Amino acid sequence: MNQDLKNHINEALKKGIRLDGRKKEEYRKIEIRTGVVATAEGSASVKCGDTEVIAGIKLNIGEPYPDSPENGVMMVGSEMLPLSNPEFEGGPPRIDAIEVARVIDRGIREGKTIDTKKLCLKKGELVWMVMIDVLPINHDGNLIDLGGIAALTALKNAKMLEVENDKVVFGKRTKQDLPITSMPLPVTILKIGDNLIVDPTNAEEKVLDARLTVSVLEDDTLCAMQKGGDTSLSIKDINEMIDLAIKKSQEIRKKLQEALAK
């Protein structure tokens, strides 16, 4: 069945058309909302076509890692909720969800988005822990990019919590923002046959030959990458994919800034 779908998508792409009528380098309409979860310290929802992702930030105080006693801790979690797609089953996150979480994590970590030095309370003993969870409500493709946008927006939306006797007072939000210093946007480029496309739907992801996720910073420098898919990429492919990722990141960044300005 997938082979038929693949042939169909390939035939159409040769004529420059995608299943949903988009052009190859065209994103679906993105809608970004902030503060969608009352219980989270920061939150955002990103809708793009039929995909909808929610990201929420929770804070707590914990011990730092022994090798970085002065740095706050951050982690990204993700799950392929069975609510969001007929093909998902319950249970602990499998490799697809782990990859989404880790690629988003890598972008934020290596892009030095959070100034973790500012999250130290007592060197070697107490630091802030920033927990970012990215979950699809409806999964119709491109979870890494949209999850990444949601995570960054939620981080920008988050407020620190009050502290009493070295413990967090849950629910008591202060007016202080998280120390956010950069916004590395992950952009995933898919290669199907000889065609490069952006913002894939679920169907397109199923027939991909290769994909490359590139996290792009404000000044167009790259801070993280991940190749996926079963076939190889040529240097020329990679070159084109990175160019396209940078171009797209600029478009998305504009939308993100508009949403944050609201």
The footprint of other proteins (CB under 8 A) covers 36-40, 43, 50, 52, 54, 56-58, 60, 77, 79, 81-86, 90, 92-93, 131, 133, 135, 137-140, 170-171, 202
**Tokens 């800034």 label which residue?**
257
Query: Would you tell me the crossing angle of helices 95-110 and 143-157 to the nearest 10 degrees?
Result: 50
CA distance linking residue 211 with residue 143, whole number of Å: 13
CA distance linking residue 127 with residue 121, whole number of Å: 5
Q: How far is the CB of 155 from other proteins (least distance, A)?
A: 12
Q: How far is the CB of 198 from other proteins (least distance, A)?
A: 20
Which residue lies nearer to other proteins by CB, 148 or 212? 148
H or E element at residue 247: helix 235-261
Q: How far is the CB of 204 from other proteins (least distance, A)?
A: 15
**DSSP, residue by residue, 75-104:** EEEE---GGG-TT---SS--HHHHHHHHHH
Q: How far is the CB of 29 from other proteins (least distance, A)?
A: 14
**Tokens 């999250």 label which residue?**
119
Q: How far is the CB of 40 from other proteins (least distance, A)?
A: 4
Which residue lies nearer to other proteins by CB, 64 or 77? 77
Which residue lies nearer to other proteins by CB, 158 or 241? 158
Q: Cα–Cα distances in Å, from 76 out to 16, 91, 115, 117, 131?
A: 36, 18, 16, 18, 6
Which residue lies nearer to other proteins by CB, 50 or 218? 50
Q: How far is the CB of 50 from other proteins (least distance, A)?
A: 4
Count Cβ atoms below 10 Å from residue 169 Cβ, excluding itself.
Answer: 12
CA distance linking residue 151 with residue 160, whole number of Å: 16
DSSP tag of 116: G
Q: How far is the CB of 131 from other proteins (least distance, A)?
A: 5
The structure tokens listed for 136 are 């699809």
Which residue lies nearer to other proteins by CB, 84 or 249? 84
Which residue lies nearer to other proteins by CB, 103 or 161? 161
Identify the CA nearest to 217 among candidates 259, 185, 260: 185
Which residue lies nearer to other proteins by CB, 64 or 249? 64
